[in-house]
Homo-oligomer: A and B are copies of this chain.
Amino acid sequence: MRLAQPLEVEDWVVQSMPDASPVKWHLAHTTWFFERFVLRPLGVPPVSEAYDYLFNSYYESVGSRHPRARRGMLTRPTAAEVVAYRSAVDARLAELEGSTRLAEVAEALELGKNHEEQHQELLLTDLKHLFGENPLAPAYLVEREDEVRSPGEATTMTWHRFEGGLASIGHDGSSFAFDNEHPRHQVFVAPFELASRLVTCGEYLAFIEDGGYRRPELWLSEGWAWVNAPGCAARRAPMYWDLDAGTLFTLRGKRALVANEPVCHVTYYEADAYARWARSRLPREAEWEVAAERCGAEQRMAETSRAARSHDANGAFMEDEALHPLAARRGAGIAQLFGDAWEWTASAYEPYPGFAPLPGAFGEYNGKFMVSQMVLRGGSCATPRDHIRATYRNFFPPSAAWQFTGIRLARDIP
């Protein structure tokens, strides 16, 4: 609810593309998740029968639902009714506290919280897409006067070496994780190097100026078709860039490109083409996870103050309210592994060996999307700080760019 505070009611309603959802829908759907999977098993009657149809996202086993692409047609229930819905469900959940029946739904409660965290990020990225469509370029939050926009010297990108061999990746079950992070399993990884930070806008601009979007040899065939998609001029810069004006659109409005900031909102095609141009490649997800674990980064994630950004591996998170990736800090380690921008990996989203989806409707949460998507790692400036971890597997189709998706390079050791 706090995320929706800077908005007008009008902003709650509209869906700017089929992949995105209205703010109102996010707020209702996450509450519905608790109602449907926590309260209903305990026999609590629903607030409204109609909401099962309206706010189910993709759970086939739960029943039919409003078509995804038409979520923005629903001017009713109103924003106020959705707020009331959230309050009603919150109140019923509050009544549960201390109940002996809580154990029956503990797993669903924990999943519901993590699910809501995912939608916090989506609410922001979907809203950015909506505002980005508007010729008035509205700002979600006003621009901050602070140091991070200084176009000063970029941190030099360096390469960090990782030895190869048998390694284990995946979650060990000691705490919450999504089913797609299980089971922990062995992989063989050849020695590799990982870049010390994300690719910056300045570096990406050099790629553009070197004809990056006009040289088919740099692109996957599907990516080249995307660059030259019929119905519009050929693409020549990332989403939200205005190349001619030298500006980009952010959740704090339109402003000048900053050379040191990480490039974001790139598709997999663009990330892959950039890497080829830079004579390197994208990391495989096992490499990324091995690197993140060896950096010990995860342990230090517990630090919750904003000061935590001084740690090498952490970039900005949702709570930092930058709502845009920040320039990497200087430091000896690998920066920005967590936060700032999701990192496209070279790995397709596949089940881990031994993967078993959760039973029941929760089995639809992750497993059924394991085709035609690529894995992203590390979280972004719109990810809640506590939500991310080294084993976390995000996934999107290679053409998706409306998330805060960036580029980290890797390379083989000859």
A208 at the A/B interface (Cβ < 8 Å)? no
Assembly stoichiometry (copies): 4
Given contacts A10-B75, A54-B135, A219-B368, 19 further A-B contacts (CB under 8 A): A9-B9, A10-B24, A10-B79, A11-B75, A13-B14, A13-B75, A14-B14, A50-B136, A60-B217, A75-B130, A190-B354, A220-B368, A220-B369, A222-B371, A223-B371, A230-B231, A231-B231, A353-B412, A354-B412
13 contacts between A and B (CB under 8 A): A10-B78, A14-B14, A53-B135, A61-B216, A66-B135, A74-B134, A75-B131, A166-B188, A187-B188, A217-B363, A220-B371, A348-B348, A371-B398
- Taking CB atoms, residues of chain B closer than 8 Å to A185 are 190
- Taking CB atoms, residues of chain B closer than 8 Å to A348 are 348, 350, 371
Number of interface residues of A (CB under 8 A): 70
A12 at the A/B interface (Cβ < 8 Å)? yes
**A350 B353 Cβ-Cβ under 8 A:** no
**B16 A13 Cβ-Cβ under 8 A:** no
A247 at the A/B interface (Cβ < 8 Å)? no
A288 at the A/B interface (Cβ < 8 Å)? no
Distance (Å) between the CB of A74 and the closest chain B CB? Answer: 6
Task: Report Cα–Cα, A348/B373, bound state, in Å.
Answer: 10
In chain A, positions 329-373 with a C-beta closer than 8 Å to chain B are 346-348, 350-351, 353-354, 363-364, 368-372
- 7 A-B pairs closest in CB distance: A348-B348, A60-B216, A10-B75, A188-B188, A221-B368, A230-B231, A11-B75
Task: Report Cα–Cα, A217/B8, bound state, in Å.
Answer: 39
Distance (Å) between the CB of A57 and the closest chain B CB? Answer: 11
- Taking CB atoms, residues of chain B closer than 8 Å to A74 are 134, 136
A186 at the A/B interface (Cβ < 8 Å)? yes
A253-278 CB contact bits vs B (8 Å, 1 = yes)?
A: 00000000000000011001000000
A294 at the A/B interface (Cβ < 8 Å)? no
A138 at the A/B interface (Cβ < 8 Å)? yes
Given known contacts A268-B371, A347-B350, A75 and B231 CB-to-CB distance under 8 angstroms: no
